[in-house]
Amino acid sequence: MPTINLNSINKFFKPEITPLAKWWVKLILLILSAIFIFLSFFYTNSIAKEILNREKALIDLYIDIYEYYSDPVSNFEDIAFFQEKIIPQINFPIIITDSSDAPLEPFETFSLNVKTDSNLSYTQTRMEYQKLITKMKDVYDPIVLVDTSGKILQKYYFYHSSIVDKLKMMPFIAFAIFLLFSISGYIALNASRRNEESKIWIGMAKEAAHQLGTPLSSLLAWAEILRMRSDDPDFNEIIDEIQKDLERLNVVTTRFSKIGSKPDLTMQNIGALIEQVSTYFEKRLPNLGRKISIVREIDKEYYCYLNADLFSWVFENLFKNAAEAIEEKNGSIFITIKEKGDWIRIYVRDTGKGMTPKIKRNVFSPGFTTKKRGWGLGLSLTKKIVEDYHNGKIVVKDTAIGKGTTFVIDLPKTI
């Protein structure tokens, strides 16, 4: 009979990637993102500077136009041309002030592209203009118009157009989009991988059920034949135990066959189900060479919709996991049930060795195991049965090295 390399199967489910390699990948992505932001910022900043230079040139043109417009002997047709063709090209705000930075009046005549509420009073409008002048002064120095003697006649305060602000925001928007796509891709990749893993072990489960079905049926028939041919009570008792284990294997086969299909849920007494699984395990715990007791702390009957075949598997996996975690000669597994609002909460606590943060983080991952033997599918199947098939939740609530571990299962009272 060919042997199965369990380590190869575990690696297939979850390829080993060293923490150092993961950090290198993250560092490279971080460096590439930083380079991307820097280049985007540098490029857009250079474009913004070019636009600012053009806007400053337009301001110079505007000043020339304004001076020409102020000349009493200026040609009216030239003024109309400037007002209709040149000034509309200026799309940024300009405010003309006197030498003391007071806006000239009327405000609309001595400003350009400045919008204020028409319902404001004169005083309020003046205050709005003063605020805009202060804002402009903090960003750009005004262009000063002086006479031949050097006396300041007027100051031209300005602020860049909105397109400059948009350009400056572009690197950050691009980075946000890049980050969004990266996160979406990461989530999609993980979902695809989990879906592929799920298909693999669902297929394995169904194939195992198919392969076990025929020999189990034959063994059950042979056990019945042996019972019919034996009159020895002791021998018949052994046959009874063999038949119980065969029926047990038949239950396991049924469970495997249900993985991947929507199970039928019926109202079940959770305490009775726990009692059934606990009784079965208690008879086999001595085989581990340790004295382990399963303490049921259930004060009343609790009911919810379950698939008994699958959910008994949940308790078996948790009991088995707890029993293997107990390394002392004496240990205990405690099962407690409480009501929490619309949920029935089940605690499974052991007095075992506890988990490290790394083990706790990966305990439900398919293929993850700390044992030399095993496929690392028990707790991942447990999580799938609880959450996907019963709309519940399962988490590791408490764990610490040398302090044991507590699993918590939440089940809705109604589904």
* HEC per residue, 87-113: HHHCCCCEEEECCCCCECCCCCCCEEC
Are residue 161 and residue 266 in the same domain, yes or no?
no
What is the arithmetic mean of pLDDT over 272-298? 83
Burial letters 213-227, b for 16+ CB under 10 A, else e: eeebeebeeebeeee
Q: Are 273 and 306 in contact (CB under 8 A)?
A: yes
- Boundary residue ending a domain (139, 165, 191): 165
- Boundary residue ending a domain (120, 145, 165): 165
**Number of structural domains in the chain:** 2
Are residue 281 and residue 154 in the same domain, yes or no?
no
Are residue 270 and residue 407 in the same domain, yes or no?
yes
Q: Are 305 and 265 in contact (CB under 8 A)?
A: yes
Q: How far apart are CA 65 and CA 363, in angstroms?
A: 76
Asked if the structure places residue 124 within a domain, the reply is: yes
Q: How far apart are CA 374 and CA 93, in angstroms?
A: 74
- Boundary residue ending a domain (107, 140, 165): 165
Strands (E), 100-193: 111-112, 143-146, 152-158
Of 61-75, 164-178, 202-216, which one has max mean pLDDT? 164-178
Are residue 153 and residue 281 in the same domain, yes or no?
no
Q: Residue 168: is its pLDDT beyond 60? A: yes
Asked if the structure places residue 179 within a domain, the reply is: no
Q: What is the residue range of 91's domain?
A: 36-165
Helix (H) or strand (E) holding 269: strand 266-269
Are residue 271 and residue 391 in the same domain, yes or no?
yes
Query: 205: pLDDT confidence band, cut at 50, 70 and 90?
Result: low
Q: Are 105 and 68 in contact (CB under 8 A)?
A: no
Give the C-alpha distances (Å, rounded to integers) separating 152 from 100, 110, 112, 135: 9, 16, 21, 21
Bigger pLDDT: 371 vs 157: 157
Are residue 148 and residue 267 in the same domain, yes or no?
no
Q: What percent of the chain clears pLDDT 90, i.e. is strictly above it?
A: 14
What is the arithmetic mean of pLDDT over 192-214? 61
Asked if the structure places residue 206 within a domain, the reply is: no
Are residue 139 and residue 270 in the same domain, yes or no?
no
Nearest to 253, CA basis, from 284, 220, 227, 222: 220
pLDDT of residue 347: 95
Apex CA 383: angle with CA 274 and CA 315, to 5°? Answer: 15
Apex CA 83: angle with CA 78 and CA 84, to 5°? Answer: 100
Q: How far from chain centre, in Å, is Cα 299?
A: 38
Asked if the structure places residue 205 within a domain, the reply is: no
Are residue 141 and residue 270 in the same domain, yes or no?
no
Give the C-alpha distances (Å, rounded to integers) separating 97 from 27, 117, 149, 194, 333: 53, 20, 19, 67, 84
Asked if the structure places residue 87 within a domain, the reply is: yes
Token pair for 394: 């399962």
Angle between helices 162-228 and 6-13 (to 10 degrees): 150
The mean pLDDT value of the chain amounts to 77
Asked if the structure places residue 294 within a domain, the reply is: yes
Here the CATH number for the domain that contains residue 328 is 3.30.565.10
Asked if the structure places residue 219 within a domain, the reply is: no
Asked if the structure places residue 404 within a domain, the reply is: yes
